């Protein structure tokens, strides 16, 4: 029986960085489900389809294949019709596209089996918005990771600046607030803590402290 750990929370709470480090420590596979929604967003953009145009997006889904794979460093890559789009999906524009397309119930249904199948064959730490509530309701450990919008925006800003992107802190903060609102107010699978999750606020913690805290919760509950 494989073990699943669900980590949910808003954008920029540090889910991916922390989950990746915890997965390494526990020798689990790390799965970033946001990459899947981002890939659908990228595909819509490439096809000049509006991010809220559900009808055209559903038509588009009929002709595309989204897959998760792992490179030789065991890092996740995401394939759109066989093309590795892993780095193309990491822009602020695609973040907003992803948030919009993720509110379409059929998009969520389209990605559900893919996510569940990953958990059937591996010990995984999966991060997203609805992993503990919808995708893996039986996950052994559920963590809801959060931090204040300002702290999350600052972290995202630093990350993008380090990648050489030209961004403004105020724009990132406003994106964070908009995405929080969208992600937690949509009708299907809104962002919210599962009843049996442990809520961890990382506002006052640095990366190392956050990782240690999560690993101790995981070990305690496994």
Residues forming the site for ligand DC (CB under 6 A): 11, 33-34, 37-38, 95, 98-99, 102, 128-131, 179, 183
Rounded least distance, CB 207 to ligand DC, Å:
17
**Least spacing, CB of residue 18 vs ligand DC, in Å:** 13
Nearest distance in Å: CB 103, ligand DC: 8
DSSP 8-state code for residue 9: -
Distance of CA 73 to the CA centre of its chain: 20
- Residue 55: other Cβ atoms inside 10 A: 9
Nearer to ligand DC, 5 or 183 (CB): 183
- Give the CA distances from residue 203 to residues 114, 142, 159, 208, in Å, rounded to whole numbers and listed in that order: 32, 19, 16, 13
C-beta closer to ligand DC: residue 7 or 211: 7
Q: What are the E-state strand segments in the chain?
A: 4-8, 29-32, 66-70, 76-80, 83-84, 124-128, 141-146, 198-201
What tokens were used for 133?
A: 């509530």
Q: How far is the CB of 126 from ligand DC (least distance, A)?
A: 8
Closer to ligand DC by CB, 152 or 213: give it. 152
Confirm if 99 and 116 have CB atoms less than 8 A apart.
no
User: Closest approach of Cβ 3 to ligand DC, in Å?
Assistant: 19
Pairing of strands 76-80, 66-70: antiparallel
CB of 166 to ligand DC, least distance (A): 20
Output the six-digit token pair for 32. Answer: 């970033």
Give the DSSP letter string of 80-134.
Answer: ETTEE-TTTT-SHHHHHHHHHHTTSHHHHHHHHHHHHHHHHHS-EEEEESSIIII
User: Given the complex with ligand DC, which of 70 and 181 has the nearer CB atom?
Assistant: 181
| Identity of the residue, 11 or 153, whose beta carbon is nearer to ligand DC in the bound complex | 11
Q: Which is nearer to ligand DC, 186 or 213 (CB)?
A: 186
């Amino acid at each position: 029986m494989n073990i699943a750990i669900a980590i949910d929370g808003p954008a920029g709470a540090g889910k991916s960085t922390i989950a990746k480090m915890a997965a390494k420590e526990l020798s689990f596979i790390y799965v970033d489900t946001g990459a899947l929604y981002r890939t659908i967003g990228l595909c819509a953009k490439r096809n000049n389809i509006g991010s809220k145009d559900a009808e055209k997006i559903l038509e588009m889904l009929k002709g595309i294949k989204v897959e998760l794979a792992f490179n030789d460093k065991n890092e996740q890559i995401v394939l759109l019709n066989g093309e590795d789009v892993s780095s193309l999906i990491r822009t602020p524009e695609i973040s907003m596209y992803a948030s919009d397309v993720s509110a379409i119930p059929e998009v969520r249904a389209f990605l559900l089996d893919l996510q569940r199948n990953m958990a059937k064959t591996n010990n995984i730490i999966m991060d997203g918005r609805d992993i503990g509530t919808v995708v893996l309701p039986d996950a052994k450990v559920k963590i809801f990771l959060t931090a204040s919008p300002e702290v999350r925006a600052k972290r995202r800003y630093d990350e993008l600046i380090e990648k050489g992107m030209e961004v403004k802190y105020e724009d990132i903060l406003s994106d964070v607030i908009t995405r929080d609102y969208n992600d937690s107010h949509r009708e299907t699978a809104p962002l919210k803590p599962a009843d049996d999750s442990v809520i961890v606020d990382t506002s006052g913690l640095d990366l190392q402290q956050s990782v240690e805290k999560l690993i101790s919760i995981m070990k305690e509950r496994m």
